[in-house]
Structure 1
Amino acid sequence: MASTSVSRIVPASPDRVWQLVGGFGSLPDWLPYIASSALEEGGRTRRLANPNGDAIVERLIAFNEEERHYSYAILQAPFPVVDYLSTLRVYAVSGNDNVAEVQWSGRFVAKGASDDEVVALFTGIYSDGLDALEQALG
Structure 2
Amino acid sequence: MPRAYASGVVPASADTVWSHIRDFNGLPSWLPAITASELTEGGSGAEVGAVRRLTLGDGGIVVERLLELNDAERRYTYEFVENPFGARRYVCTLRVAPVTAGGEAFVEWWSEFDADAADEKRLTDFFADGVYAGGIAALRDHFAAA
Under TM normalisation by the shorter chain, which class is it?
over 0.9
Q: 2:114 aligns with which of 109, 113, 122?
A: 109
Match of 1:11 in 2: 11
* Structure-1 separation of matches of 2:10 and 2:51: 28
* Structure-1 separation of matches of 2:98 and 2:75: 12
Instruction: Specify every segment of 5 or more residues in structure 2 that has no aligned partner in the other structure, as ranges.
Output: none
Instruction: Specify every segment of 5 or more residues in structure 1 that has no aligned partner in the other structure, as ranges.
Output: none
Runs (4+) of structure 1 exceeding 6 A deviation are: none
- TM-score with structure 1 length normalisation? 0.93
* Structure-2 separation of matches of 1:39 and 1:113: 33
Match of 1:37 in 2: 37
Paired residues in the alignment total 137
Q: 2:96 aligns with which of 77, 90, 115?
A: 90
Secondary structure of the residue aligned to 2:84 is coil
User: 1:5 is matched by which residue type in structure 2?
Assistant: Y
Secondary structure of the residue aligned to 1:115 is helix
Q: Percent identity?
A: 39
- Contact 1:80-1:112 at 8 Å conserved across structures: no
**Alpha-carbon RMSD:** 1.3
Indicate whether 1:64 and 2:61 are aligned.
Answer: no
* Structure-2 separation of matches of 1:19 and 1:113: 38
